[in-house]
């Protein structure tokens, strides 16, 4: 392995690069031709690990060393190769596609799929490395800078966000934090009203005309995730927790959201 590779990342660095990979992965999911965002996140992580500027080829030894802490990129890619791909195969494909001009159609979707798979593996590696303090709190897992909607914005805007990003819920502040679900959106839009008028209505107006909003569970940064998982009645409660900083900011300001996806 490259001796220039940084031997240890501090916890805050691991969290930072985990979040960068995760954000890039979400961006790629929203746009099948958006895999360059993942390349930028890989290059930033490679730069930190190597300690000097290079390219994806020069960063590979350090990233491969990090990948050794990922079960899906090592053990499972050997024993369950029908489901998981080795780090070297994923990385070679992405590196070769980095400067390829044919980023469209089926090829782009294939590259993006490989990039997302690599991200998931490296995110696991970052959080499973040695000397990591056991993560138990909401702040260790939450997605920062959450997407929210305003009560005065049109239903069409909320619909667009849901379709573009595959959101199951969108937070909105109307007399406290509420959640707009994809099911509520579908029921509202198929309720038999005038399509143009329903889309143009504000969230607040629509909420009084058939668009169902449910109260959200707001939690603090230091809440234990185990407690959340075993006290939430998943059969009846939305599986999205809203995180407030509780530092004197306005109560309608969120610092993060947490869903079961981040805990898997």
Q: Which of 253, 244, 1, 22 is nearest to 127 (CA)?
A: 22
* The pLDDT value given to residue 86: 93
Asked whether residue 1 is assigned to any structural domain, the reply reads no
CATH of the domain at 188: 3.10.580.10
Task: Give the domain-ending residue among 133, 155, 173.
Answer: 133
Shared domain for 89 and 186, answered yes or no, is no
Task: Give the domain-ending residue among 133, 160, 193.
Answer: 133
Shared domain for 51 and 129, answered yes or no, is yes
By percentage, how much of the chain surpasses pLDDT 90?
Answer: 49
**Cα dihedral sign, 132-134-137-142:** positive
Shared domain for 160 and 105, answered yes or no, is no
Q: Are 70 and 84 in contact (CB under 8 A)?
A: no
Whole-number Å distance between alpha carbons of 70 and 227? 27
Cα–Cα distances in Å, from 134 out to 29, 62, 128?
Answer: 29, 24, 9
Overall domain count for the chain: 2
CA contacts within 13 A on the Cβ side of 156: 7
Shared domain for 107 and 185, answered yes or no, is no
Asked whether residue 138 is assigned to any structural domain, the reply reads no
Whole-number Å distance between alpha carbons of 163 and 39? 24
* The pLDDT value given to residue 46: 94
Give per-residue pLDDT as tens, 154-201: 999 999 999 888 889 999 999 999 999 999 999 999 999 999 999 999
Asked whether residue 186 is assigned to any structural domain, the reply reads yes
Asked whether residue 200 is assigned to any structural domain, the reply reads yes
Whole-number Å distance between alpha carbons of 80 and 89? 15
Asked whether residue 213 is assigned to any structural domain, the reply reads yes
Shared domain for 63 and 165, answered yes or no, is no
Shared domain for 118 and 59, answered yes or no, is yes
Task: Give the domain-ending residue among 133, 164, 193.
Answer: 133
Asked whether residue 3 is assigned to any structural domain, the reply reads no
Shared domain for 179 and 105, answered yes or no, is no
Shared domain for 104 and 213, answered yes or no, is no
Would you state the structure tokens that stand for residue 110, as one six-digit string?
Answer: 């294939």
Q: What are the DSSP E strand ranges found in 48-206?
A: 143-144, 169-173, 177-181
* The pLDDT value given to residue 3: 47
Please, which residues bridge with residue 178 across strands?
172, 215
Q: pLDDT digit of tens for each residue in the chain (264 aa)? A: 444 565 578 888 888 999 999 888 888 877 766 678 899 999 999 999 998 899 999 999 999 999 999 999 999 988 888 889 999 999 999 998 887 655 556 677 788 889 999 999 999 999 886 555 667 889 888 888 889 999 999 999 999 999 888 889 999 999 999 999 999 999 999 999 999 999 999 999 999 999 999 999 999 899 998 888 887 765 556 689 999 876 545 556 788 999 888 887
Shared domain for 63 and 21, answered yes or no, is yes
Whole-number Å distance between alpha carbons of 180 and 183? 8
In whole angstroms, what separates CA 103 from the centre of its chain?
23
CB proximity list for 152: less than 8 A, separation 6 or greater: 202, 203, 204
Q: Domain limits at 43?
A: 11-133
* The pLDDT value given to residue 260: 86
Shared domain for 154 and 72, answered yes or no, is no
Would you state the structure tokens that stand for residue 99, as one six-digit string?
Answer: 């400067």
Whole-number Å distance between alpha carbons of 63 and 79? 22
Please, which residues bridge with residue 143 across strands?
257
Asked whether residue 225 is assigned to any structural domain, the reply reads yes
Asked whether residue 4 is assigned to any structural domain, the reply reads no
Shared domain for 120 and 189, answered yes or no, is no
Strand 217-220, strand 241-244: pairing: parallel
Shared domain for 164 and 95, answered yes or no, is no
Whole-number Å distance between alpha carbons of 134 and 150? 36
């Amino acid at each position: 392995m490259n001796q220039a590779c940084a031997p240890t990342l501090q916890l805050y660095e691991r969290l930072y690069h985990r979040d960068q990979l995760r954000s890039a992965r979400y961006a790629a999911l929203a746009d099948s031709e958006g895999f360059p965002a993942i390349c930028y996140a890989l290059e930033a992580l490679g730069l930190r690990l190597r300690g000097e500027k290079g390219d994806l080829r020069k960063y590979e030894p350090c990233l491969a060393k990090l990948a050794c802490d990922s079960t899906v990129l090592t053990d499972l890619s050997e024993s369950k190769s029908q489901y998981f791909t080795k780090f070297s195969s994923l990385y070679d494909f992405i590196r070769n596609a980095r400067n390829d001009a044919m980023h469209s159609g089926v090829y782009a979707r294939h590259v993006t799929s490989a990039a997302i798979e690599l991200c998931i593996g490296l995110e696991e590696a970052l959080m499973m490395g040695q000397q990591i303090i056991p993560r138990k709190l909401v702040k260790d897992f939450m997605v920062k800078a959450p997407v929210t909607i305003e009560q005065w914005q049109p239903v069409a805007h909320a619909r667009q966000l849901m379709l573009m990003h595959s959101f199951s819920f969108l937070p909105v502040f109307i007399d406290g934090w509420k959640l707009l679900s994809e099911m509520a959106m579908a029921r509202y839009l198929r309720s038999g009203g005038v399509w143009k008028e329903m889309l143009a209505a504000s969230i607040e107006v629509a909420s009084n005309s058939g668009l169902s909003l449910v109260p959200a569970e707001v939690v603090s940064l230091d809440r234990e995730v185990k407690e959340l998982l075993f006290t939430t009645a998943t059969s009846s409660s939305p599986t999205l927790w809203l995180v407030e900083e509780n530092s004197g900011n306005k109560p309608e300001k969120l610092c993060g959201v947490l869903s079961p996806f981040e805990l898997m």
